Amino acid sequence: MKEATENKSITQELPALTPLTFIPVYKSVIWGGTRIGEYKQERLSQNSIGESWEISGIPGHETIVAAGPHKGKTIGELMAQYGPRLIGQRLSSRSIKEFPILIKFIDARDDLSLQVHPGEEIARSRHNCPGKSEMWYIIDSAPDSTIISGFSKPITREKYREQVKEGEILQSVARHPSRPGDVFFIPAGRVHGAGGGNFILEVQQSSDITYRIYDYDRCDKSGNRRELHTEQAAEAIDYRVYDNYKIDPIAIKPGVDVLVQCPVFEVRLLTIDDSLDFTTPDDSFLTMTCIAGKADIIAGNTVTTLSCGHSLLIPAELRDITIKGNARIITASC
């Protein structure tokens, strides 16, 4: 008890936090393109960038503070220093060591693999990490783009194995037209994949565990096919068929729509036309990602400009925020 009290005192003595911006982690992949650099209006040195990890606490892929008094620190170092002041007392009391969500852009120049992410029980037992539920907001899409989410007809585990073996698993998945503004919630266990031509903002639990089911028989630059995880996926898949796979946003007040609300995160869309005042969620951090326009984020005496394609983190100890500008911003909290 004495040690906990001393740690709390040390945390309280640290300087006040301000909104934090980070250096993204870029991922070059077989299906990636050039859209992310164009969207951010930045010249990137990597090729075939499929993902930009905007805010990440995953070990080995942690984002680093880009500016301000904490410049050069990883988000993990800030978590260790500030604890509840950064992420909130509720999350901090659960001894969470990694930042609990990952924010990323996805540029699907080509089809992503058909895949599934494990739930909490399997992820903890196999990988000692959280399960992985996620949501996709379609920023832009080609006219014929689609999203695979769930099954279109009942399928058993045995039938799944048979169809994967025969290369026929796409016959059983549900394929949906993809349009800008569409929202898909993909809970752990749901088979999914993004078709070529989609540009997506993803909010997910902090986990990098993916079981690849089908990869269109593609080969990498060395001529090798990527590994499939047929049996691992078989235990993780939710084989049920659902009525709806797209999410309809819920307007809660002018300029604020709830996109996804689930046990592990809540995602909202803010539409700013001149100015918007709001209070951040009680006892939680807030991530903000600008998907159109530009705005100034005013927190206390700090003004941070947030432009299209960029993200920032509002620490839990900051509550009253003013946004000025013309922009669309997606927020996430836990």
pLDDT in tens, 88-98: 999 888 877 78
**Which residue is catalytic, options 109, 190, 212, 328?**
212
Mean residue pLDDT of the chain comes to 93
Report in angstroms the alpha-carbon separations of 24 from 50, 139, 304, 330: 13, 18, 17, 17
Domain with CATH 2.60.120.10 in the chain: 17-236, 250-333
Alpha carbons within 13 angstroms on the beta-carbon side of residue 128 total: 2
CATH for 250-333 (2.60.120.10, 3.90.700.10, 3.40.640.10, 3.40.50.11740): 2.60.120.10
Strand order in the sheet with 134-141: 25-33, 49-55, 101-108, 198-205, 134-141, 183-186
Query: What predicted TM-score, i.e. pTM, was given to this entire model?
Result: 0.93
In this predicted structure, the answer to whether residue 245 has a pLDDT above a threshold of 50 is: yes
The DSSP bridge partners found for residue 228 are: none
Check if 225 is active-site: no
Q: What is the pLDDT of residue 3?
A: 45
CATH fold of 17-236 reads Jelly Rolls (2.60.120)
Q: What pLDDT is stored for residue 2 in this prediction?
A: 44
Phi/psi at 147 (5° precision): -125, 135
Tell me what percent of the residues of the chain surpass a pLDDT of 90. 84
